[in-house]
Structure 1
Amino acid sequence: MDTPDSPFRHVLFLNWRDTRNPEGGGSEVYIERIAAELVRIGHRVTVLCAGHDGAPPEETTPDGTRILRRGGRHTVYARAALTYLAGRLGVGRLGHRGLGRPDLVVDVCNGVPFFAPLYAGRPVLALVHHVHREQWPVVFGPWVARIGWWIESKLAVRVYRRCRYVTVSEATKSELSGLGVAADRIAVVPNGTPDVVAGPAPRTTHPSLLVLGRLVPHKRVEIALRTVAALAADLPDVELVVAGQGWWEPKLKDLAVEMNIQDRVRFAGFITEEEKHAVLCSAWLALTPSIKEGWGLTIVEAGARATPTVAFRNAGGVAEAMVHDETGMLADDEEEFILQVRNLLADDVRRKAMGEAARAHAAQFTWEAAGARFANLVAEIATAPGAADRQSIRR
């Protein structure tokens, strides 16, 4: 157990999912990799998230992070507050197991925040991967979108007005500043690049494209499908692999049939790390047609295998995960997106040079460096003036 003068802290992450969740994505990878780095340094870390089928209510990862699963997709927010308060008061099973009162609560705001400042009694760090202005109307109807955007852009800014923020890109920092969060309260800690643990695999002999990620509307996989349809006449052997799962998959499969490209598109579903490595190595190009990304983890994952990416310039942090015209291409609209894909597939020399530049660029981002920056932020917030007052009741 940490002592009051210990440099090591108990950090609690409140997040709606974990990486084992079928709907987990880059946000969850970021949190669990940062958590693992904090544990490696010496901190104690708990992640409280939603439960899901096939996962135990509690476990400790091989990296040493404690995972607590409570509630479901919509109830995790209330259950997080109740669980936290039970631990704080030392009542119930969780209190007995020592959730206690952490030194820092990291409130991961994926559109809907946990509102931890209202009940934590501890310093709270708001972690925002990206602002969801564009996603709300894409995923929900107009009324829910208005309410969701009001919560994110107005209410949350008010509730977290005394909190520090951390995000993964300068693009999101700028958007948060536009909502009224002072820039000097926002730290930027980018993603690291996942380790490449296997050797290189050969490229396909035919033109091949890859989309990697959750299959949900705001990822706009439809654009990748329309790209294949547009290229089919000139490139009859072009293939698209869609790797990932999500509730939007049936719609995408129907669209592939409607466009008569079902024989050119392979929906791979959930893939293992080994399978992901293989498809990232074998693809000629990776596509990121998403409407918004906080960073662009799949871009650096592809880059680590010397695979360049085509994405959209106005999609947030993707413009920082790549260097335009060096490690990949950024488009302003769908027509330009398709044109860039066409041109790169036709130019072996340029595409391979971009791939090598992408590999070098991805190598600059490490989880060790990200974890160290996050640990500095933890120490800074936990020892800031006023933090001791919020931590007057020790474990």
Structure 2
Amino acid sequence: MRVALLSWRDTTHPDGGGSEVFVEAVGRELARRGHEVTLLCARHPGSAGREERDGVRLRRLGGRLTVYPWGLAWLLRHRRDVDVVVDVVNGLPFASPLVRRRGVVALVHHVHAAQWRIIYPGWGGRVGWFVESRVVPRLYRSRPFLTVSDASARDLAALGVPPTSITVVRNGLSSAPPEQPPAKSPTPRVAVLSRLVPHKQIEHAFTVVRRLADEVPDLHLDVVGDGWWRDELVAAAGAAGVGDRVTFHGHVSDARRDELVGRAWVMLMPSVKEGWCLAITESGAQGTPSVAYAGAGGVTESIHDGTTGRLVEDLDEMVAVTRDLLADADARRRMGAAAREMAASLTWEACAVRAEQVLLAAGGAADQSP
């Protein structure tokens, strides 16, 4: 097949995260399986307009919002050269059904109801949520949907997407867990592995550290990742009185990421919403159990509660559960071992094989005319 992936970001974008890792990993595996894959995404400072990476051709056009009309224009221009389009609906759609009758697959990691309210609390958020919740289900009606968790599938169905149109394709991991997990820090450390954006609620991790500081005097927090909310988070850590207990590492290499989450005793994921949460399985691969909010959706599948980590209802319970885990080395080791075992079962190859089946069905009878 000739596959076009339309995504507003790629992994080199300053705001790139787990969704972009998924798209590029599946694209890479599809290319290895003999398909021609093109990823169209936005430009960002320092990026090249054209690039080839791991067998995938990258074409960067437009910016944060203009990438959408540029993407449609590119698709219209290349409509005879593409068998199937994967339209990544990351809040906003590329609206590829406007220029293609068939051969379109929508990829939705999760719905963004909470994020629209948090990041754009005014009319902008209301318009965005209207587009995602009302326009997308109608615009992509009768098209297949891919998503990464049963929780996201249920959310899509609640918006009116027929359940029979939805296929769940779980995240993989770029590399298998090491034969031996990294050595843990001799002093208690917790980590957050995340993009630094408001809806990840990383301020909650500061509260956990502050409220446990007297009981665990050597407790330290490693924040791994970067994003446009970084300055606000640095200020929030200072305001919470834990600035000297928090290290902001920014973007790091995969090896450094694994080292940081591997030496942590616990990984905290206070995000308001996740499709799956790749950070949880990346931490689990290094033998580190995670604590996350059950209401975040996909984390109820990337964490097996009580086995590979813990699910909690609110911030008070996150503090209490973190306290218990920091004090119970046996529970941490048991959960860490189970998290490694679970992570070992997840591969991008298996993910791509399942996605490929959906793409082949969608592209087999593709009609490129609008």
**TM-score above 0.5:** yes
Displacement, 1:197? 7.6
Write the mapping of 1:166-177 to structure 2, written as runs, cut at 5 A: 166-177=146-157
Looking at structure 2, the residues matched to 315 and 224 of structure 1 have their Cα atoms a distance apart, in angstroms, of 16
The 3-state SS of whatever aligns with 1:325 is coil
Does residue 113 (structure 1) correspond to residue 90 (structure 2)? The answer is no
Does residue 318 (structure 1) correspond to residue 309 (structure 2)? The answer is no
Displacement, 1:44? 0.7
Alignment RMSD (CA, Å): 1.4
Q: Retained in 1: the 8 A contact 2:293–2:312?
A: yes
Give the corresponding residue for 2:103.
123
Residues 45-100 of structure 1 show CA distances to partners (whole Å, capped at 9, x for unaligned) of 10000011111101110x20011000011211011112222333xxxxxxxxxxx4
Write the mapping of 1:343-358 to structure 2, written as runs, cut at 5 A: 343-358=324-339
The 3-state SS of whatever aligns with 1:263 is helix
Does residue 17 (structure 1) correspond to residue 6 (structure 2)? The answer is no
- TM-score, normalisation: structure 1: 0.91
The 3-state SS of whatever aligns with 1:241 is strand
Question: What is the identity, as a one-letter code, of the residue corresponding to 1:22?
Answer: P
Question: What is the identity, as a one-letter code, of the residue corresponding to 1:18?
Answer: D
Question: What is the identity, as a one-letter code, of the residue corresponding to 2:170?
Answer: P
**Equivalent residue in structure 2 for 1:85, among 76, 80, 88:** 76
Q: Retained in 1: the 8 A contact 2:99–2:369?
A: no
The 3-state SS of whatever aligns with 1:311 is strand
Q: Which has the larger radius of gyration?
A: 1
Q: Retained in 2: the 8 A contact 1:102–1:122?
A: no
Question: What is the identity, as a one-letter code, of the residue corresponding to 1:159?
Answer: L
Displacement, 1:140? 0.7
The 3-state SS of whatever aligns with 1:134 is helix
Question: What is the identity, as a one-letter code, of the residue corresponding to 1:12?
Answer: A
State the 4+ residue runs in structure 1 displaced beyond 6 angstroms.
none
Write the mapping of 1:1-395 to structure 2, written as runs, cut at 5 A: 9-61=1-53, 63-88=54-79, 100-196=80-176, 200-383=181-364, 387-388=365-366, 390-391=367-368
Structure 1 residues 347-356 or 371-380, which shifts more? Answer: 371-380
Question: What is the identity, as a one-letter code, of the residue corresponding to 1:104?
Answer: V
Looking at structure 2, the residues matched to 175 and 346 of structure 1 have their Cα atoms a distance apart, in angstroms, of 37
Displacement, 1:190? 0.5
- TM-score, normalisation: structure 2: 0.97
More contact order relative to length (CA 8 Å, sep ≥ 6): 2
Displacement, 1:322? 1.4
Q: Retained in 2: the 8 A contact 1:169–1:189?
A: yes
Question: What is the identity, as a one-letter code, of the residue corresponding to 1:85?
Answer: L
Looking at structure 1, the residues matched to 250 and 172 of structure 2 have their Cα atoms a distance apart, in angstroms, of 25
Unaligned runs of 5+ in 2: none
Looking at structure 2, the residues matched to 356 and 176 of structure 1 have their Cα atoms a distance apart, in angstroms, of 33
The 3-state SS of whatever aligns with 1:72 is coil
